[in-house]
Amino acid sequence: MNYEQLCYLRTVIPCRDKEIFEAFDKAASLHAMIKAFEAEVRAAWKTFIHEQALKSSSTPAPNQYKKPAFEDFGAARAPEVSNSPQKLDSGLQQTEALPPVKVREPIEYRQNAESDAQSAPPPQNVPQLSAGSPKDHSGHAVSPKESPPSSPPPLSPAIRFSVRNARQNERYDAEIQRDPNVPGLRLLDVTLPEGAALTVDLEHWHITGTPAIAGEFNLGLRYAYADQPAHVSHTAGMPFVINADPKTLWQNIPSDRSAPFWKEDCATSVILGQQAKLIAARKRGRSHAHKGTCCDDDFQLHCDDANGWYLAVVADGAGSAKFSRRGSQVATRAVGSYLKDVFSDERGSKLVEAIEALAEGSRPDATNEDLIRLQQKTRNELFTTIGYAAHHAVRELQNEAKSRSDVISSPKELSTTLLIGLARKVGDKWFCAAYWVGDGAVAVYRRNHSVHLLGSPDSGEFSGQTHFLDATQVSQESLLRRLRFELVEDMTAFLLMTDGVSDPKFRSESAMAEIQDWDRLWDDLETGAHLSSSEEGHEARLLEWLDFWAHGEYDDRTIAIIY
């Protein structure tokens, strides 16, 4: 099989695997098929040329004679007669007999027209051509007035085209790849899927746009070689995959309102205080939305302008606990109600005195002994306020399990994390304190300057595990270890968040301590929620921001900010 035959077959048979192609060639006897096809084409071509020559003659084609039923010609051969018209001698009588005539065999049509062309009588009055006359593809001379039929374009090697996959709803710009060993290709047209919202730059072989659909397609390409006539073109197919937008694969099934301890799938709150603004939002994660189950997160905000206190509490119910959605709700409400009473009684006043003394004693000329003493006094007051609030939350969880024993079999079914953030303005400074058990993040952030983590995320024995609020986490030792506070010159925001936010935004615990990562988070919040603007609707935009996409991060998300 020669090169042209091979190239032709590859345009007919969509096979690029050499071994498979050779096996098919052997099994189907392609070589014999091609030879038979070529012989048939040549025969048809010669017949066509002969018919064209007959049509161009001024003399009708000679009649075909049938063989007379002579019994015997004898041994002697009849003389040949001229094909030109015979003129009778005027002196002869019409009654005289003509010389015997040799009768030609009838011309029969056969597929192999080569023998026909040799036996057929030449047409009359056809111009005689010299040996140097032009010839057709069969080697026959043609009249100078006739131009030889145009030759079919030379067969070109099959070319394979490819282009990288696209993703639905994402910007796409890719070049169609072709064989670099075949220069001078021109792209004439590309058939794109209907509704794909893509365009083709034929000159630069680029496909661009934002695909609006997904699926597997076979694009039709029409192309040409630079050395071929303008009217000649070739076609090829090119596989093209538009991967589905992962976000579109997630269902958003409303939670069952008849389920025990049902709560809204999302919630927001905003409070405008005299010294600061509080805002919070929680959103059910995609994993829960896909199954139609409830959100396990919860939060509480409280502002006491009379005493200058700002409180934010967030909690993340354990995914393994049957009614953790109720546990997070009970815990955040218990802390909020307890500290609301503290702010307006003697315990709140003592905490204010300790904080103000700390601020006064944090002068550059203060001794280390004085500073340690003031810090210890502040920690003691926090122990009896925030620490007791966490202890109160544990008791409320136990009471809830007892009072709803018909549904809840154990307090562990209410397991939840708990993050408490308390802030107050002291002169020109800000005092921020926290209690943190479980994962998530609590931090005092100052843009482009500093970040102070008020604790560290708890990790369990295995990846994804953490500690939850129970009696062991509110012992004296645990409270003193978990209670943290900072007195800062200024702050951009005091932020608390569950791991549904902290995990995708901070890929490691070390990243959580880097100011650059917090700057990126704050820029993201500003872009999405416009927190610093005077516009209304911050809470709705914050809720929308919580819907950000992060591969593999489909947990419930809650964030609370004092700023």
Question: What CATH class does 166-249 carry?
Answer: mainly beta
- Evaluate whether 166-249 and 266-562 have a shared fold: no
* Cα 82-88-90 angle, rounded to 5 deg: 155
* Per-residue pLDDT tens listing for the chain (563 residues): 665 666 666 666 766 666 776 777 777 777 777 778 888 888 887 888 777 766 655 445 445 545 545 444 444 444 444 444 444 344 434 444 444 544 444 434 333 434 344 444 444 444 444 444 455 544 555 554 455 555 555 556 678 999 999 999 999 999 999 988 888 899 999 999 999 999 999 999 999 999 999 999 999 999 999 888 889 999 999 999 999 999 899 999 999 999 999 999 999 999 999 999 999 999 999 999 999 999 999 999 999 999 999 999 999 999 999 999 999 999 999 999 999 999 999 999 999 999 999 999 988 888 899 999 999 999 999 999 999 999 999 999 999 999 999 999 999 999 999 999 999 999 999 999 999 999 999 999 999 999 999 999 997 555 567 899 999 999 999 999 999 999 999 999 999 999 999 999 999 999 999 999 999 999 999 999 999 998 899 999 999 999 999 999 999 999 999 99
Give the pLDDT confidence score for residue 39 in this predicted structure: 82
Q: Break the chain into its structural domains and give their ranges.
A: 1-52+134-148, 166-249, 266-562
Give the pLDDT confidence score for residue 83 in this predicted structure: 47
Secondary structure (DSSP) of 108-155: ---S-HHHHHHHSPPPTTPPP--TTS-B-TTS-B--TTSPPPPPPPPP
Give the pLDDT confidence score for residue 10 in this predicted structure: 65
Give the pLDDT confidence score for residue 23 in this predicted structure: 74
Helices and strands in the chain: count of H runs, count of E runs:
14, 18
At 555, which amino acid appears? D
Q: Which of 498, 503, 487 is nearest to 422 (CA)?
A: 487
Give the pLDDT confidence score for residue 158 in this predicted structure: 74
Give the pLDDT confidence score for residue 7 in this predicted structure: 62
Query: Are residues 321 and 327 in contact, defined by beta-carbon separation less than 8 angstroms?
Result: yes
Query: Are residues 285 and 295 in contact, defined by beta-carbon separation less than 8 angstroms?
Result: yes
Give the pLDDT confidence score for residue 198 in this predicted structure: 97
Alpha helices in 297-387 (DSSP H): 324-343, 346-361, 368-382
Using one digit for the tens of pLDDT, what is the confidence trace for 432-449? 999 999 999 999 999 999
Q: How far is CA 288 from CA 256, 326, 412, 447, 453, in A?
A: 12, 15, 20, 34, 30
Residues 6+ apart with CB under 8 A from 32: none
SS3 347: helix
* CATH superfamily of the 266-562 domain: PPM-type phosphatase domain (3.60.40.10)
Radius of gyration of the chain (CA): 47
Rounded Cα distance between 278 and 302, Å, is 8
Q: And the tokens for 279?
A: 């805002």
Q: Which of 123, 85, 120, 122 is nearest to 106 (CA)?
A: 120
Q: And the tokens for 432?
A: 């921020």
